[in-house]
């Protein structure tokens, strides 16, 4: 870990001389926050991991061009920003099924999964690192990866997305962001104004951080427990009793989603409540979440299947975003990123 500007200067000098260990130490302190940044930009954990590694490779190869006019941190963000902007030019934005089409009517069958890389992915809260955001930051770290915030970011043009994150989440100055984006302060200010206007129009009045704080830790844990119990016992009335009347439930990568108790009841008793589940509570995207394990008849074990991210409205659940991994190549590896067991007895 780099402990001072003096240590950083020595590491930088050694890295420029070809010392890869010095470079790894120099950049290691920033990798966690760079991953969070790239996730906000791309909406995908895997894309974020790839972007960080690509950015670090670019940084290693470009060390001789770093003149020290900015901090190492700001320089790394410049490279990471360019890397993510390059990716956005070749890939569609990440979204959720509610952006894909209308809610399913009562009795609608769940459509086949759309496995193209178009869906938002969940982010493990345990990956948050203490990034050095300044007092200028408008959003908390967890608040800035909440489902609603991530959807907003993905709807913004990539340049506005980058400016909003760099300025209002990470607290870089307008001058620093102008250097990072190779543009003018006036352009940064203009992009930020448009992004802030979109945020004000589209974000809910209350963040999930505020909702969780108002509910309290004990009540939130009890809500998650009652939710899991209702699923495990197949109690549709108890489950619907935890949801708001107009609650939504989506299941990426399946494009089908449902809204309201009538449609949800018909689907729940037909599909998920006929399956044997076990659950573990977790945290994802700064929100209350429940990891769902599906019984595997062959092994007799409960295996990773779904991570339900719960959006709260007061003491009820307004939305369930159920990230389905049953058909993924390695659901256990995904659960491991949340520090969850790879199976349950």
Structural domains of the chain sorted by starting position, each given as residue range(s) with its CATH number in brackets? 5-91+144-202 (1.10.1740.10), 209-337 (3.10.450.50)
Between 243 and 91, the higher pLDDT residue: 243
Pair of tokens at residue 194: 């448009």
Select from 262, 242, 81 the least CA-distant residue to 176: 81
- Reported confidence tier of residue 129, pLDDT bands at 50, 70, 90: low
C-beta atoms surrounding 163 within 10 Å: 30
Integer angstrom CA distances of residue 303 from 77, 123, 277: 38, 20, 9
Rounded to an integer, the average pLDDT of 208-229 is: 97
- Reported confidence tier of residue 191, pLDDT bands at 50, 70, 90: very high
Cα–Cα distance, 172 to 178 (Å, whole number): 10
- Reported confidence tier of residue 107, pLDDT bands at 50, 70, 90: very high
Beta strands in 189-315 (DSSP E): 243-251, 254-259, 277-284, 287-296, 301-313
**110: which DSSP letter?**
P
Q: Residue 65 has what pLDDT?
A: 86
CB contact at 8 A, 11 and 115: no
pLDDT per position as a tens digit, 300-339: 999 999 999 999 999 999 999 999 997 667 999 999 999 9
Q: What is the pTM of this model?
A: 0.94
Cα–Cα distance, 79 to 206 (Å, whole number): 33
């Amino acid at each position: 870990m780099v402990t001072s500007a003096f240590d950083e200067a020595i590491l930088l000098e050694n890295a420029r001389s070809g010392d890869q260990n010095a470079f790894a130490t120099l950049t290691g302190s920033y990798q966690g926050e760079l991953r969070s940044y790239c996730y906000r930009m791309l909406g995908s954990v895997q894309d974020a991991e790839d972007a960080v590694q690509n950015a670090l490779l670019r940084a290693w190869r470009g060390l001789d061009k770093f003149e020290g006019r900015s901090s190492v941190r700001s320089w790394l963000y410049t490279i990471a920003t360019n890397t993510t902007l390059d990716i956005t030019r070749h890939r569609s934005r990440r979204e959720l099924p509610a952006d894909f089409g209308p809610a399913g009517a009562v009795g609608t069958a769940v459509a086949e999964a759309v496995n193209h890389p178009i869906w938002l992915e969940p982010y493990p809260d345990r990956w948050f690192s203490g990034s050095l955001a300044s007092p200028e930051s408008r959003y908390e770290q967890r608040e800035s990866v909440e489902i609603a915030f991530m959807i907003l970011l993905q709807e913004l043009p990539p340049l506005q997305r980058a400016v909003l994150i760099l300025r209002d989440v990470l607290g870089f100055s307008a001058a620093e962001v102008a250097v990072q984006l190779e543009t003018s302060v006036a352009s940064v200010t203009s992009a930020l104004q448009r992004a802030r206007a979109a945020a004000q129009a589209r974000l809910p009045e209350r963040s999930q951080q505020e909702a969780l704080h108002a509910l309290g830790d004990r009540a939130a844990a009890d809500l998650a427990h009652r939710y899991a119990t209702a699923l495990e016992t197949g109690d549709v009335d108890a489950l619907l009793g935890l949801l708001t009347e107009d609650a939504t439930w989506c299941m990426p990568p399946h494009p089908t989603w449902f809204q309201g108790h009538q449609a949800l009841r018909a689907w729940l008793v037909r599909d998920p409540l006929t399956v044997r589940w076990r659950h573990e509570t977790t945290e994802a995207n700064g929100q209350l979440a429940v990891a769902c394990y599906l019984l595997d008849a062959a092994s007799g074990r409960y295996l990773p299947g779904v991570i339900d991210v719960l959006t709260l409205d007061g003491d009820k659940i307004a939305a369930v975003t159920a990230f389905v991994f049953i058909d993924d190549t390695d659901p256990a590896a995904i659960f491991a990123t949340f520090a969850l067991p790879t199976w349950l007895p």
